Amino acid sequence: MVTEGASGARAAARCRELSRAPYSDRADRLFRGWLTPAHRATIERVGAWMEQAGMEVRRDAAINLIGRYEAARPDAPALVIGSHLDSVCDGGAYDGPLGVMLGIECVAALHAQERRLPFAIEVIGFGDEEGSRFPAAMLGSRAVAGTLAAGAADMVDADGISVDAALRAFGSAAAWLTGAHRPPGTMLAYLEAHIEQGPVLEAEGLALATVTGIAAQLRWDVTVTGVAGHAGTVTMGLRRDAVAAAARMVSAIEDIALSDASELVATVGRIAVAPGAANVIAGDVRFTVDIRAGTADRRDRAAAAIRTGLHAIADARGVRIAIATVHDLPPCPCDPRLMERLDAAIVATGQPARRLMSGAGHDAMAMAALGPVAMLFVRCAGGVSHHPAEQVDPADADAAFAAMRGFIDRLGDEHRDA
């Protein structure tokens, strides 16, 4: 049930509302891709909530949704509160939208009290973080941060539609690579609330944690090219089977990650086989590799070992391999002073301070190019995420709302006499 006043429970209820049609591109499950009909319906709905909360609402050239609650002084920089509105296919209701909805609730509470702060507050619903439509992640926040590579506009989705064409069809008239870039000095700090996507908080009986930083990420698109042939006529010793070679590669990736015996993880999340017929030896296989670690050095050592191992398997099995880097994101430490303020705000809710590193990537990684960042983790049931079973207790959402309001008040007190 949606409460009348600003609250975390209302934020959680709004996330659940956005998990159904017309806010999903599929009727049987949640999938909200960037620049799709469901994305359009979502930003219209969320934009209306922003307006109700007292914000001026606009869309930037990358179709990120931005609501601004003005400061006491109109030209003041902004505390940016954000997260993403897109979802993975068959995803959950809270991954991304919860951070946006909680930001709206914080502004709604200020507006109800007719309070203005020494800084503006901007709530941003980034259009793309997951990379579910195009082969790269965080396109929305990287456009705002000005860190996108020049070729990003030429990437195509599964239907061959380029990023540039999709943006123009959606109504973006500006050159999005530069048109969405936020001017330097206009962001005081960035705050993102997000579900933990892991089981630690639940195991410890805690609702909230301060994030210390986000792990370094590396993502590859790997193509293995063999020779297609008839499944019944080409003998085993003469085959150059792309899928058999790829299977060995996937096992090698897992072995290398396991041997590191650390927080390092490596994942093959997508595999496509061509021609994909039951009676044909596969001639081509494409798969993704995602490598993450707390430090760039550890990640890069594992990546070098994996690359060497994949090439060795390709040579031994008589196939060709190409490895293309989709994105390479350095680790993102959160700002120590902002972490202290967030710790204090959590303690003020009656809970102990707890700090966790994030193995998952977040828009905060991109926004760190513009200023200091902080993140708040919220407990999710069973640590389940990227799945329809994703669940947040409304009481935990209320605790997150209280902690965010406390963080904002502390930041306001510090800057009142600045």
Taking only the tens place, the pLDDT of each residue in 276-293 is 999 999 999 999 999 999
| pLDDT the model gives residue 75 | 86
Query: Alpha-carbon distance 382 to 385, whole Å?
Result: 9
Query: Alpha-carbon distance 118 to 74, whole Å?
Result: 9
Domain annotation covers residue 182: yes
| pLDDT the model gives residue 388 | 95
89 shares its domain with 40: yes
Domain annotation covers residue 2: no
- Average pLDDT over every residue of 180-206: 96
Query: Alpha-carbon distance 339 to 332, whole Å?
Result: 13
Let me know: does 120 contact 77? Beta carbons within 8 Å.
yes
287 shares its domain with 262: yes
- Average pLDDT over every residue of 50-63: 97
Domain annotation covers residue 345: yes
Token duo for residue 125: 């619903």
313 shares its domain with 402: no
Return the CATH number at 128: 3.40.630.10
Domain that holds residue 248: 216-329
Domain annotation covers residue 279: yes
245 shares its domain with 360: no
| pLDDT the model gives residue 242 | 98
Q: In the predicted model, is pLDDT for residue 197 greater than 80?
A: yes
Q: Which residues contact 187 (CB under 8 A, 6 or more apart)?
A: 77, 78, 80, 367, 370, 371
Closest CA to 289 of 332, 321, 320: 321
Q: Rounded to an integer, what is the distance from CA 141 to the centroid of its chain?
A: 9
Is 26 annotated as a binding-site member? no
Closest CA to 322 of 290, 267, 285: 285
**pLDDT tens readout for residues 205-259:** 999 999 999 999 999 999 999 999 999 999 999 999 999 999 999 999 999 999 9
164 shares its domain with 288: no
Query: Alpha-carbon distance 334 to 212, whole Å?
Result: 5
**pLDDT tens readout for residues 94-117:** 999 999 999 999 999 999 999 999
Q: Are strands 120-126 and 78-84 parallel, antiparallel or unpaired?
A: parallel
82 shares its domain with 157: yes
Q: Show which of 308, 329, 350 is a domain's final residue.
A: 329
Question: What is the percent of the chain with per-residue pLDDT over 70, rounded to a whole number?
Answer: 98
Counting the structural domains of the chain, the total is: 2
Domain annotation covers residue 234: yes
| pLDDT the model gives residue 309 | 98
| pLDDT the model gives residue 417 | 67
250 shares its domain with 309: yes
| pLDDT the model gives residue 4 | 61
| pLDDT the model gives residue 1 | 35
Domain annotation covers residue 1: no
- Average pLDDT over every residue of 56-83: 96
**Average pLDDT for the chain:** 95
Is 168 annotated as a binding-site member? no
222 shares its domain with 265: yes
* HEC readout, the chain: CCCCCCCHHHHHHHHHHCCCCCCCCCCCCCCCCCCCHHHHHHHHHHHHHHHHCCCEEEECCCCCEEEEECCCCCCCCEEEEEEECCCCCCCCCCCCHHHHHHHHHHHHHHHHCCCCCCCEEEEEEECCCCCCCCCCCCHHHHHHHCCCCHHHHHCECCCCCEHHHHHHHHCCCCCHHHHCCCCCCCEEEEEEEEECCCCHHHHHCCCEEEEEEECEEEEEEEEEECCCEECCCCCHHHCCCHHHHHHHHHHHHHHHHHHCCCCCEEECCCEEEECCCCCEECCEEEEEEEEEECCHHHHHHHHHHHHHHHHHHHHHHCCEEEEEEEEEECCEECCHHHHHHHHHHHHHCCCCCCEEEECCCCCHHHHCCCCCEEEEEECCHHHCCCCCCCCCCHHHHHHHHHHHHHHHHHHHHHHCCC
Is 84 annotated as a binding-site member? yes
Let me know: does 297 contact 306? Beta carbons within 8 Å.
no
Q: Which residues contact 293 (CB under 8 A, 6 or more apart)?
A: 215, 216, 262, 263, 264, 265, 299, 302
**pLDDT tens readout for residues 343-395:** 999 999 999 999 999 999 899 999 999 999 999 999 999 999 999 999 999 99
| pLDDT the model gives residue 3 | 44
325 shares its domain with 394: no
Domain annotation covers residue 3: no
User: Angle, to 10 degrees, between the axis of helix 97-112 and the axis of helix 394-415?
Assistant: 60
Q: Show which of 282, 298, 329 is a domain's final residue.
A: 329
- Average pLDDT over every residue of 327-343: 94
Question: What is the percent of the chain with per-residue pLDDT over 90, rounded to a whole number?
Answer: 89
| pLDDT the model gives residue 2 | 41
Is 111 annotated as a binding-site member? no
297 shares its domain with 175: no
- Average pLDDT over every residue of 194-203: 96
Q: In the predicted model, is pLDDT for residue 58 greater than 70?
A: yes
249 shares its domain with 307: yes
Domain annotation covers residue 29: yes
Closest CA to 81 of 379, 390, 362: 362
Query: Alpha-carbon distance 153 to 162, whole Å?
Result: 7
Q: Show which of 329, 345, 380 is a domain's final residue.
A: 329
Name the phi and psi angles at 128, rounded to 5: -135, 125
Return the CATH number at 259: 3.30.70.360
Is 95 annotated as a binding-site member? yes
197 shares its domain with 51: yes
Is 219 annotated as a binding-site member? yes
**pLDDT tens readout for residues 121-162:** 999 999 999 998 998 889 999 999 999 887 888 899 999 999
Q: In the predicted model, is pLDDT for residue 194 greater than 50?
A: yes
